[in-house]
Amino acid sequence: MIAENMVGMVKSSSVIRQMFEEGNRLAKIYGAENVYDFSLGNPNVAAPAEVNAAIKEIVDNEESTFIHGYMSNAGYEDVREAVAESLNRRFETKFNASNIVMTVGAAGGLNTILRTILNPGEQVMTFAPFFGEYRNYVANFGGELVVVPPNTVDFQPELNEFEKMITPKTRAVIVNNPNNPTGVVYSEETIKKLAAVMDKKQKEYKTEIFLISDEPYRELAYDGVEVPYLTKYYDNTIVGYSYSKSLSLPGERIGYLVIPDEVADADDMKAAASVATRILGFVNAPSLMQRVAAKCLDAKVNVEAYDKNRTALYNGLKALGFECIKPEGAFYLFVKSPVEDEMEFCNIAKKHNILIVPGMTFGCPGYVRMAYCVSYDTIVNSLPHFAEAAKEMGM
Ligand code: PLP
- Is 255's C-beta closer than 6 angstroms to any atom of ligand 1? yes
The SS3 call for residue 69 is: coil
- Please tell me the predicted confidence (pLDDT) of residue 134: 97
Specify which residues 123 forms β-bridges with. 144, 170
Compute the distance from residue 106 Cα to the ligand 1 centre, in Å: 5
**pLDDT, mean of each 10-residue run, the chain (395 residues):** 86 72 86 92 96 96 84 97 98 98 98 98 98 96 98 97 98 98 97 98 98 98 97 98 98 98 98 98 98 96 98 98 97 98 96 95 97 97 98 95
Compute the distance from residue 63 Cα to the ligand 1 centre, in Å: 32
pTM over 0.85: yes
Compute the distance from residue 131 Cα to the ligand 1 centre, in Å: 8
Nearest to 215 by CA among 244, 194, 172: 244
Q: What are phi and psi of 237, to 5 degrees?
A: -100, 135
Is residue 350 within 8 Å of residue 391, measured between CB atoms?
no
Compute the distance from residue 107 Cα to the ligand 1 centre, in Å: 6
Rounded Cα distance between 51 and 247, Å, is 8
**DSSP states along 177-241:** SS-TTT-PPPPHHHHHHHHHHHHHHHHHHT---EEEEE-TTTT-B-TT-----GGGT-TTEEEEE
- Please tell me the predicted confidence (pLDDT) of residue 170: 98
Q: Is 20 exposed, middle or buried (0-12, 13-18, 19+ CB in 10 A)?
A: middle
- Is 214's C-beta closer than 6 angstroms to any atom of ligand 1? yes
- Please tell me the predicted confidence (pLDDT) of residue 7: 85
- Is 359's C-beta closer than 6 angstroms to any atom of ligand 1? no
- Please tell me the predicted confidence (pLDDT) of residue 14: 62
DSSP state of 166: -
